[in-house]
Amino acid sequence: MKQPMFQTIYPYLRTNKKFPNVWCPGCGNGIVLGSLIRAIDRVGLSKDETAMISGIGCSGRLPVYVDFNTLHTTHGRALGFATGLKMARPEMKVIVIMGDGDALGIGGNHFIHAARRNIGLTVIIVNNLIYGMTGGQYSPATPTDSFATTAPYGHIEQTFDIARLAEAAGAPFVARSTVFHVFELEKLMEKALTKKGFAVVEAISNCHTCYGRQNGMSTPVSMLKWMRENSVPISAKDSKGEGKITRGILVDRDLPEYTELYDQVIERARAAGAEGLR
Ligand X SMILES: Cc1ncc(C[n+]2csc(CCOP(=O)(O)OP(=O)(O)O)c2C)c(N)n1
Instruction: Give me the residues that bind ligand SF4 (CB under 6 A), please.
Output: 23-24, 27, 29, 58, 128, 132-133, 207-210
Among 40, 52, 53, 58, binds ligand X (CB under 6 A): 58
Q: What is the Cα–Cα distance from 31 to 34, expressed in whole angstroms?
A: 5
Among 34, 101, 197, 248, binds ligand X (CB under 6 A): 101
Q: Which residues contact 129 (CB under 8 A, 6 or more apart)?
A: 100, 139, 141, 142, 143, 146, 204, 207, 211
Q: What is the Cα–Cα distance from 192 to 208, expressed in whole angstroms?
A: 27
Minimum CB separation of residue 47 from ligand SF4 in Å reads: 25
How many alpha carbons fall within 13 Å on the CB side of residue 155?
23
Q: Which does 27 bind (CB under 5 to 8 A by kind): ligand SF4, ligand X, none?
A: ligand SF4
Q: Which residue number, 37 or 58, has a Cβ lying nearer to ligand SF4?
A: 58
Whether 126 and 98 have beta carbons less than 8 Å apart is answered as yes
H-type alpha helices, the chain: 5-9, 15-18, 28-43, 78-88, 100-101, 108-117, 162-169, 182-194, 220-229, 237-240, 258-277
Among 53, 62, 133, 165, binds ligand X (CB under 6 A): 133
Q: Which residue number, 206 or 259, has a Cβ lying nearer to ligand X?
A: 206
Determine which helix (DSSP H) or strand (DSSP E) holds 95, and give its type and residue range.
strand 93-99
Q: Which residue number, 56 or 171, has a Cβ lying nearer to ligand X?
A: 56
Among 128, 178, 231, 259, binds ligand X (CB under 6 A): 128
Q: What is the Cα–Cα distance from 227 to 264, expressed in whole angstroms?
A: 45
Among 28, 63, 132, 136, binds ligand X (CB under 6 A): 132
Coil vs helix vs strand at 267: helix
Q: Which does 96 bind (CB under 5 to 8 A by kind): ligand SF4, ligand X, none?
A: none
Site membership for ligand X, residue 131 (CB under 6 A): yes
Q: Which does 121 bind (CB under 5 to 8 A by kind): ligand X, ligand SF4, none?
A: none
Minimum CB separation of residue 7 from ligand SF4 in Å reads: 25
**Residue numbers of the site for ligand X (CB under 6 A)?**
56-59, 75, 99-102, 106, 126, 128, 130-134, 139, 207
